[in-house]
Structure 1
Amino acid sequence: MTHPLFAKHEDTLKHALAAIETRGYWSPFAEMPSPRVYGETSNAEGEAAFKAHLHRTFELDQPATGETVGAEVSPYGFALDVQYPKASADTLIPAAVAAQDAWRRAGREAWIGVSLEILARLNRASFEIAYSVMHTTGQAFMMAFQAGGPHAQDRALEAIAYAWHELRRVPTEAHWEKPQGKNPPLAMKKHYAIAPRGIGLVLGCCTFPTWNGYPGLFADLATGNAVIVKPHPGAILPLAITVRIAREVLREAGFDPNVATLLATAPNDGPLVQALAVRPEIKLIDFTGSTQNGTWLERNAHQAYVFTEKAGVNQIVIDSVDDLKAAVRNIAFSLALYSGQMCTAPQNIYVPRDGIRTSEGHLSFDDVAQALASAVQKLVADPARAVEVLGAIQNEGVARRIDEARSLGRVLADSVALEHPAFPGARIRTPLLVQLDASSDLATARSEWFGPVSFVIATDSTSHSLELASSIAREHGALTLSVYSTDEAVIDAAHEAAIQGRVALSINLTGGVFVNQSAAFSDFHGTGGNPAANAALTDSAFVANRFRVVQSRVHVAPTNSATPAGQTA
């Protein structure tokens, strides 16, 4: 019998399955905070719901120690002062193990249906989540609404669709017959059971807690696994709201809500996370964060399947352009968007030291470098408008990195502090653009400088630029590569460089699409083929190893064997 929640959301699931086949644009979730779509009072109610969390204990009825934990500070200049029930691995893991059994027995339609219902309710809470994302990550409100809400929900639905795509390929039973010549055929009746891996651990990041956290969370739930969600200590609230909604749906559907639990922690929780990650009960880990921590998980959590998205050095190659102004405007926006704190934001911009061809003639390296710097400075010239693009710096470490990077080369566009008209204490910095040379500064170019730090790097030629871009992606990791060229041979070479570096390629972006944007159902976020990530969001490989198939078989009479009259085979 079809689970009622599966039936309720089956149409959405069918559309999602079609979207991952065609890879065209589709989304069931409105990305603009329109009162017409979400309700006239939805924004005010969402902001009020966010503010109601401040300066109090977050209510979450799950196993806890009786103590609380929480030290989130908004990058916009105030303490959230939200306290979360403190839990331990020794209480959450047994609770998850106990909840797992009935959840496993419920079967795939229940897993998918419940997951889709959780997602529908998260969409209704998009404004509450948006303000929570804004004031934990520093994203400006529009980005926090889109990336933290509908776009994150798209990625979750994509993971659910891939899970169902894989689960439905396994029949529940089959009749098997093998001919034996003149003798009766051999016949077996076979049953196939989906066996979830076990407990999943989702380790959230401080910049995109929902967008990066939802794929693993929903891939686990949709394949029958219980999940422990461990947010970054600086961005707990968005995932706490998520877990609370998930638990509500699970309880209403008749399941133990401990299928989904929250492990909120204090800052400097590295030892706790490492101890939890190697527990034998943890069978799946999804991690977004630093290379150091991600690599540690890959090398040490051998009992689990580990899916990581780590640091990378994203790059742009400029060979030739038709419209330099359009190109540098597009690049400047990519550098400034959320102050370069996106995992897809470009860092290295390669320009041949002999200059480039344009529709207006030859331009020198200095001409191109200055055009880039001027485009950045023009974009952030009006502070009131700039803050809505820049957002705020998530942590002081990023601000210190800007200061360190100033000494690396000639400053083309300096980073300055801006004042936010609504949040005087906001930590806001404009992008820093520094000139380097590939002949002497490769060590700097090969390292990630997370945040609003970018380099315009002189190379020997476009071929040299592509060689650097490919090798750095292959050896050090990258999620994006962007190329500007009017030469088809160069574009062909760029395709090959991207394949060799296992990195997603964008070509001649000059309009409203930017290299650091990734669309669910169409773009594969990460290839899983270089050190920046060992998994893609989202493909079949992201979900297929989250469950196994256990078969049983019994010998039966063949279907074509003779039977006495009045009897059945």
Structure 2
Amino acid sequence: MMLKQSSKKNLFINGKWQEAGDYYQLTSPYNGKFLASVPLANKREVEDALASAEIGAMKMKELTSLERSNVLERVSKLFEERSEEAAEILALECAKPIKAARAEIARTIETYKFASEEAKRIHGETIPMDAAKSGKGRFAYTIREPLGVIAAITPFNFPFNLVAHKLGPAFAAGNSIVLKPANQTPLSTLFTAELFEQAGLPDGALNVVTGRGSVIGDQLVRDPRVKMVTFTGSVEVGLGIKEKAGLKKITLELGSNSAVIIDGTDDLDAVVDRCVEGAYAFSGQVCISVQRIYVQEELYETFVERFAEKVKQLVIGDPLSEGTDLSAMINETEAERVERWIEEAAESGANITLGGKRIGAIFEPTIITGASSTLSISCKEAFAPVVTITPYDFLKDVVTCVNDSQYGLQAGVYTTSIHKAFDAIAALQVGGVMVNDVPTFRVDHMPYGGVKNSGTGREGIKYSIEEMTELKLVTIKF
């Protein structure tokens, strides 16, 4: 397969494709081949995008709910028509195996469909004013209004669907966007902009600026025209955004070291299959990837044995190959970091039960047993194809282990006891509990977000729309 688009890309500002003053060379994480020359936006070009977005926000506010819904519906259909092309872009720019890339595009289509539907459901409520003594003779209601200009900063790991989670609800609510994608995955975002252009989105409603986060990110976060910043990425960058954003609204999705508890099951093989999928999909570069597995003592040895057998069957290779399960990590630097963490674990006495080796940017699927909870591979976010597996005796104690983390995005609990399920639900300090499934489960209309250092705010189209609108109260005296 060949990338069908031009190798030189442009910025998308005010509905036009604009050349930049400088460019960088984008290469494949898998084989280092040149993919495209991508713009390095400067401060003037970001200023152009912000000025365009300010006018675009006024245009979006004037559209009816139906008109906004129709644009999103057309984008969803355009993604269906060009789904294989989009999946190929993912395989090339971020080394996502083609079958996983197709799954992301399917979710992207659904996300824009959800946004199209939710555009028609944005409403307020009536307030019973006469419930207060001084409210007699008054009628009141609330309405939701768009914020205006929103800055969106997106990561490399789901560059179509996580962009959809920013753009879909923003446009459904009548906002405009200035979007800064990850440096390794600009092609997917520029492709998305092309589809919105074809779908009839008003000029200025979407502006895409690619380049250095230190230049673009700071300018977007500090600009007073920006009313909200929505960011998915690292804790360090998220904290910086929070410090610089002032009184702007902020949604931060900052990752996790997600855990699954296996307390009891009627089908251990099915649990093993799901845990392998949750741990190694896209080489573990998923915010809710399974990183820590806690297994009831009686099941532990059997689980580890079957889990390792399943992992050995995973195919490492070219992301464009139909049979590939894992490919390169996003870059060699990340693979080297994980290699250091594995060496630290081995030196501390942990067992590298399977894998643990790196070849360039490719890291073998790895299983670690006997790992201390203080090791980097346990307490930090690995974002890599690595899991620790640990036995436990009592559910109460293992919930404490899961909670002993700076993160709290999602957790999974497998149990045959409804009482234990509800005990775990009440005690786990996370944004979402998946009972009888892995924490990697997500569908795109559910509320999604975490506690502690996993971030603030919620995504999921309906819930993002609430974040991306202001509530206005109206009272009428009669």
Superposition TM-score, scaled by structure 2 size = 0.85
* Higher-Rg member (1/2): 1
CA contact (8 A) 2:258 2:289 kept: yes
Which residue in 2 is equivalent to 1:73? 27
Aligned in 2, Cα 1:495/1:416: closer, same or farther, shift over 3 Å?
same
Counterpart in the other structure of 1:303: 247
Equivalent residue number for residue 354 of structure 2: 413
Name which of 507, 516, 519 aligns with 2:440. 516
Structure 1, residues 290-344: CA drift from partner, whole Å, max 9, x if none?
A: 1111222233312321112112010022234444344323322322221111112
The equivalences for 1:245-264 within 5 A come to 245-250=195-200, 255=202, 257-264=203-210
Aligned length: 462
Deviation string 1:512-544 (CA, Å, 9 cap, x unpaired) is xx65232234x4333x44432423331644212
User: 1:351, 1:462 within 8 Å by CA — same for their partners in 2?
Assistant: no
Q: Does residue 468 of structure 1 match 2:468?
A: no
The 3 A distance-change label for structure 1 pair 501 and 245 is closer
Offset, 1:273: 0.8
What letter matches 1:281 in structure 2? Answer: R
Deviations 1:346-396 (A, max 9, x none): 1111235xx215xxxxxxx45543443333123349999896211331122
Alpha-carbon distance change, 191 to 65 in structure 1, aligned in 2, over 3 angstroms: farther
Cα gap change, 1:186 to 1:455, in 2 (>3 Å): closer
Specify the alignment match of 1:15 in structure 2. none
Equivalence for 2:88: 131
Match of 1:502 among 425, 428, 431: 431
Establish whether residue 433 from structure 1 lines up as the match of residue 385 from structure 2. Answer: no
Name the CA distance, whole Å, in 2 between partners of 1:464 and 1:191.
48
CA RMSD, aligned part only?
Answer: 3.4
What's the offset of the Cα at 1:451?
A: 0.8
Q: Aligned pair 1:166/2:118, yes or no?
A: no
Q: How does 1:87-486 map to 2 (within 5 A)?
A: 88-147=45-104, 149-167=105-123, 169=124, 195-250=145-200, 255=202, 257-266=203-212, 269-352=213-296, 355-357=297-299, 365-380=300-315, 388-407=324-343, 408=345, 409-416=350-357, 427-438=361-372, 441=374, 444-459=377-392, 461-472=394-405, 476-486=406-416
Contact 1:437 1:457 (8 Å CA) reproduced:
yes
The one-letter code matched in structure 1 to 2:158 is F
Partner amino acid, structure 2, of 1:356: E
Could you say what secondary structure the match of 1:516 adopts?
coil
The answer to whether 1:536 aligns with 2:419 is no
Partner of 1:19: none
Q: CA deviation at 1:112?
A: 2.5
**Structure 1: unaligned runs, 5 residues or longer:** 1-46, 179-184, 358-364, 419-425, 559-569
Alignment CA distance shift 1:487-1:97 (3 Å): closer
> Which residue does the alignment assign to 1:83?
38
Alpha-carbon distance, 1:503 to partner: 2.8
Q: Pick closer, same or farther for the CA change 1:275–1:235 going to 2, 3 Å.
A: same
| Letter aligned with residue 490 of structure 1 | K
Mark the CA change 1:201 to 1:381 in structure 2 (over 3 Å): closer, same or farther: closer
User: For the Cα contact (< 8 Å) 2:141–2:475, is it kept in 1?
Assistant: yes
In 1: Cα distance, 2:404 partner to 2:181 partner: 33
| Offset at residue 442 of structure 1 (A) | 6.2
Is contact 1:412–1:434 with CA below 8 Å preserved after alignment?
Answer: yes
Q: Distance in 1 between matches of 2:145 and 2:363?
A: 49
Moved more, 60-69 or 71-80: 60-69
| 1:5-46 residue CA offsets vs partner (Å, 9 max, x unmatched) | xxxxxxxxxxxxxxxxxxxxxxxxxxxxxxxxxxxxxxxxxx
Q: Which residue of 2 aligns with 1:39?
A: none
User: Identity of paired residues, percent?
Assistant: 17
Structure 2: give runs of 5+ residues left out of the alignment. 131-135
Is the 2:289–2:440 contact (alpha carbons within 8 Å) kept by the matching residues of 1?
A: yes
Contact 2:169 2:461 in 1 (8 A): no
Aligned with 2:370: secondary structure? strand
Shift of 1:262: 0.8
The aligned amino acid for 1:152 is T
Which one of 525, 531, 545 corresponds to residue 448 of structure 2? 525
CA distance in 1, matches of 2:17, 2:61: 21
- TM-score, normalised to structure 1, is 0.72
Contact 1:247 1:258 in 2 (8 A): no
* Cα distance change of structure 1 residues 260 and 195 upon mapping to structure 2, 3 Å threshold: same
Q: Secondary structure at the match of 1:80?
A: strand
Question: Which moved further from structure 2: 286-295 or 478-487?
Answer: 478-487
Q: What is the identity, as a one-letter code, of the residue corresponding to 2:71?
A: V
Go from structure 1 to structure 2 and tell me whether the alpha carbon gap of 1:227 and 1:272 turns closer, same or farther (over 3 Å shift).
Answer: closer
Kindly state the Cα deviation for residue 161 of structure 1 after the two structures are TM-superposed: 3.3
Over 3 Å counting, the alpha-carbon distance change for 1:234 and 1:437 in structure 2 is: closer
**Secondary structure of residue in 2 paired with 1:234:** coil
Q: 1:58 to 1:126 in 2, by over 3 A?
A: farther
Cα distance in 1 for residues equivalent to 2:472 and 2:454: 34
Measure, in 1, the Cα distance between the counterparts of 2:270 and 2:453.
32
Moved more, 257-266 or 315-324: 315-324
C-alpha distance in 2, partners of 1:217/1:207?
17
Counterpart secondary structure, 1:261: strand
Q: CA deviation at 1:177?
A: 12
Seen in structure 2, the aligned counterparts of structure 1 residues 297 and 162 have a Cα distance that, compared at 3 Å, is farther
Instruction: Give the conservation status (yes or no) of the 8 Å contact 1:401–1:449.
Output: no
**Partners of 1:229 and 1:262 within 8 A in 2:** yes
Deviation, 1:203, is 0.7
Deviation at 1:240, TM superposition (A): 0.7
Q: Is the 8 A contact 2:280 2:386 kept in 1?
A: no
Q: Match for residue 12 of structure 1?
A: none
8 Å contact kept, 2:284–2:386: yes
Q: Distance in 1 between matches of 2:192 and 2:363?
A: 30
Contact 2:58 2:148 in 1 (8 A): no
Q: Could you say what secondary structure the match of 1:72 adopts?
A: strand
